Structures are given as structure tokens and as C-alpha cells.
Structure 1
Amino acid sequence: MTAPRTAVAAPEPPDRPLTAATLTVGDPVWVYAFGRWRRGEVTRLAQVRARIRYVSDRHGSERERWFSCSPDEPVYHGGLPEPLTWRCPSARCRLVCTGRPGQTAAQIRAAHEQSPHHHRELDPR
């Protein structure tokens, strides 16, 4: 008699930038290219860089380039949810902020309110 099989939940994708050492060829990833977060796939690896193929426009055209997997060019796990946008309700600010993959609207708002780009309203006293 065999033991009953139990379902095992898939591990949560890491909510941090990945490095070339943690990636493998074929991994789904998120990259920031041309002002937007885009889904891509790792095609080649070097010691500290990863070559990633991603969809560059709404028509499905693909591009491929090297990303340094650094804070300047972060690469996030492809299993994270799509990035959210949030608009500041302040009458003086009204900036539209785009978070990174996996970030909630509350996290985006908190980061924006701490940034120098947020224009705080003057106290009416």
C-alpha cells in the first residue's frame, strides 16, 4: 500500500532583485526597459550579467539585451504580480508612480511620500 500524496504549495517568488548567480537560462523575469516593466526570459548568462529577451511593444516585437542585474538595472522574478501604478491624491503633486513587480499600492504610496518629489500641502494655520 502506498502513502497518500499530499499537495505541496509552490514556494513564493523572492520579492527582491535577482543576481546573475541566482538565475538560470529559461527563467521568467521582470526587467525595466524603455520606461516600463516588461516580462522577459533569460537566454544567456555571464558572471555578473544576464541576457534577457523581452517583449518590447504591444504588437509582440521582441528585443534581447544584456542587463547587469544591479540596482541600476534590477531583474525581478517573473512569478511576481504585474507592477501597479498609483496616482498621488495631493492637489499640488498629482504624480503617477509605478511600483516594482510585487509591490502593493500602500508600499508605493509610502515610498512616494518619503521622496523629495512629493510636494506636501502647507498647513492651513
Structure 2
Amino acid sequence: MTPPDPVNVPISSLQEIFAHARESFPDECCGWLTGEKNSRTANGVRKAVNTYDRETHPTAKDRTAQTAFVISDEDLLALNQTLEDDIRPLIIYHSHPNGRAYFSETDRNNAVDPWG
């Protein structure tokens, strides 16, 4: 698989994501970066609600909202409705509240096959 082209993320967007992570702590935050159609530069941050619940999650009952995320139905619908717009989602992000910034095995698997 060929890796995607990099996306330029302005410092102001990173600062907004960092603030979102602090607001959501101790749970994972999640959301997406937006950008113009055919652009590789993010120009906005769209926060989402993490609705992860181990009691109802079908496969990962050993995790919590502190170690996993599920984008809310409403947010996922909003993301889907903008896929063909001039301003569209470029990157889905989430935090690792008590860890370091890295792509976990779960992150890699979901990036390749998000629907399992």
C-alpha cells in the first residue's frame, strides 16, 4: 500500500487539538481536520464526541473511553455529509491521554480497514 501524501497542519490547529485533549482528559478526544478539496493543508478542526462504552461495544470490552474512542453517531453523520463538499475531512485524530503520540497497532489496523 502506498502511503498517502502528507497533510500540512498549522500550529493553530495543533493548539486547538491539544486544548481539546486537555478538555477531554482523562478520556480520549477525537475529531477531524478539514481542508479544501484537492488541498493537502488543513484549515479547520472539527471536534467530535467520544461515545465509547465498553458495556455496549461489540468487540473491545477490555478497553475504556480512556484507551479507545468511538465517534458519536451524530458526528459520524456530519463527517459523512461533508465528504464531497469543498471543505472536507482530511484527517481523523484522537488522543492517547496517558501515553505518547504514536500509531498503535489498533490505529494502524483501523487506518487500513476501518470497518474491521
Q: Same fold (TM over 0.5)?
A: no
Q: TM-score, normalised by structure 2?
A: 0.25
Larger radius of gyration: 1
**Higher RCO structure, 1 or 2 (CA under 8 Å, sep 6+):** 2
TM-score when scaled to structure 1? 0.24
